[in-house]
Structure 1
Amino acid sequence: MDPIKDFAAQVARNIRGLGADDGLRADTLKWVERANVNGYTYNFSWLGRPIIQYPQDMVAMQELIWATKPDLVIETGIAHGGSLILSASMLAMLDYCDAIEAGELLDPAKPKRRVLGVDIDIRAHNRSAIEAHPFANRIDMIQGSSIEPETIAAVRAKAAGYKRVLVSLDSNHTHAHVLAELEAYAPLTTPGSYCVVFDTLIEDMPAGSFPDRPWDKGDNPKTAVWEYLKTHPEFESDLDFDHKLLITVAPHGFLRRKK
């Protein structure tokens, strides 16, 4: 018997069981609806910077980064910068482990892996806080609409030469915007890596849950994901993340690139 394989098999059975429990998923959605009334996702931080995410999704992102070992993480939507810091901290750990394995000294001033953030409005106080963070030397930022040709060209230029790329889309959540982001940035995802589309949960919430926003049921990231997958068979939704997390803003949004 191999205890490590046995444990992995048990986890796989757990995930299948959770995925088959329709009642539990319904109860989870009810909890999410109530928690969101009080701004649940705004209450957390990563290494000192606010990160507007569920803790479960933070854990999922560290799992993905550790498993796929990207050289570059591209993120649309910066806000307070917590997600950039999360990615940068994980990439720093990967560089450190690489150095240990190679028997080399790690030079913190010359990071190999990087994070690229894109936002239409990087507010001055957030930019200053991000640039003052200890992991700032791993982070590049581009201000501009993520779907404008100039911004897309700048991101593609920055991504050139990186062997492994992970993409995270978390800016404007309308169907048209997310679909345009997918067309622009999902192709930068390398085979075996992921393009994670956040806030697909909007489709599962009651209509009118976001009265001050331009997105709603029927017009959101999940509907964009469904449309994108129709013509891009190189991607698939990794539903294991939905099933094991239960509480996630990205159901159907963990897109694995198969080829």
Structure 2
Amino acid sequence: MNRERFELEKKENIKQQATDVKLRNTVYDFILQQAEHNYTYNFTWLGMPIIQFPQDIISLQEIIWEVKPDVIIETGIARGGSIIFHSSMQRLIGNNGIVIGIDIDIRSHNREAIENHPLASNVYLIEGDSTSVEVMNQVKEFIPEGKSVLVILDSNHTHDHVLKELEVFSPLVNNGSYLVVLDTIVEDMPDHFFKDRPWKAGNSPKSAVKQFLKENKRFIVDRDIEDKLLITVAPEGYLKCISD
């Protein structure tokens, strides 16, 4: 089978699975059940904990390879696995790209683990509120004019915070790149899953995305990605920039 035929077959497979109601329900059941076991805590990237579904990691890899951004920005650092993942992808691309990680509280042991990792030389960590003027000024210092930017939002998951992040970071994203909002799945989960957190249905990353897209026409939801993944923390969260 040649590559062209393979790609056509793949598209048909994705189209069929996306409309398979039974499969969709099975995926939703899995997402509900895995949460009881902290399934996403099970994985590492080059020795660093990366708290994500493997499917989303693969999707980000595909996006980074396609876009080849000069700068990858992620809000929410946690234990640092995703920061090192982005750094490793920048090295594979070979364009001397950088990674900027932002968190309101970078724990000393996590900072140490990131900064001592073999792939940390192109990583810059900023501690502070990702929506603040001070943090944005620091971010802009690392982005030379004309460089391409990919942004991933994964910090505070409340509606107001994510909406503010969308507003302040979206101007940095260039045409053809992505603004990825993780944990939009919060909107689709029962509220008791987040009883010790402020976010829930109606106060979530997805509710923020919906409001943002009503007011910003530079971005659209890339539904082909979630149709392909099925298992994802970011339904309606892969936003593609379609204009300058």
CA separation in 2, counterparts of 1:156 and 1:219?
A: 29
Q: SS of 1:137's equivalent?
A: coil
Aligned residues: 243
Q: For residue 83 of structure 2, what is the aligned residue in structure 1?
A: 84
Q: Runs of 5+ in structure 2 lacking a partner?
A: none
Question: Is 1:196 aligned to residue 180 of structure 2?
Answer: yes
Q: SS of 2:23's equivalent?
A: helix
CA separation in 1, counterparts of 2:144 and 2:9?
A: 40
Counterpart of 1:242 in structure 2: which amino acid?
Answer: E
RMSD over equivalenced CA pairs, Å: 1.1
- Write out per-residue CA displacement over residues 189-232 of structure 1, whole angstroms, 9 at most, x where no aligned residue: 11101000000000111122101111011110000000000111
Question: Is 1:182 aligned to residue 181 of structure 2?
Answer: no
For 2:99, which of 111, 115, 126 is the aligned residue? 115
CA separation in 2, counterparts of 1:91 and 1:7?
A: 28
CA separation in 2, counterparts of 1:74 and 1:131?
A: 16
CA separation in 2, counterparts of 1:159 and 1:224?
A: 26
Q: For residue 30 of structure 2, what is the aligned residue in structure 1?
A: 31
For 2:198, which of 178, 190, 214 is the aligned residue? 214
**1:78·1:117 contact (CA, 8 Å) conserved in 2?**
yes
Shift of residue 78 of structure 1?
0.4
Question: Is 1:224 aligned to residue 213 of structure 2?
Answer: no
- Write out per-residue CA displacement over residues 25-60 of structure 1, whole angstroms, 9 at most, x where no aligned residue: 121111110001110111111000001100001101
**1:242·1:251 contact (CA, 8 Å) conserved in 2?**
yes
Identical amino acids, percent of aligned pairs: 48
Q: For residue 221 of structure 2, what is the aligned residue in structure 1?
A: 237
The normalised TM-score by structure 2 is 0.97
CA separation in 1, counterparts of 2:194 and 2:235?
A: 18
Task: Out of 23-32 and 45-54, give the one that drifted further.
Answer: 23-32
Q: SS of 1:209's equivalent?
A: helix
**1:72·1:162 contact (CA, 8 Å) conserved in 2?**
no
Q: 1:42-57 alignment to 2 at 5 Å?
A: 42-57=41-56
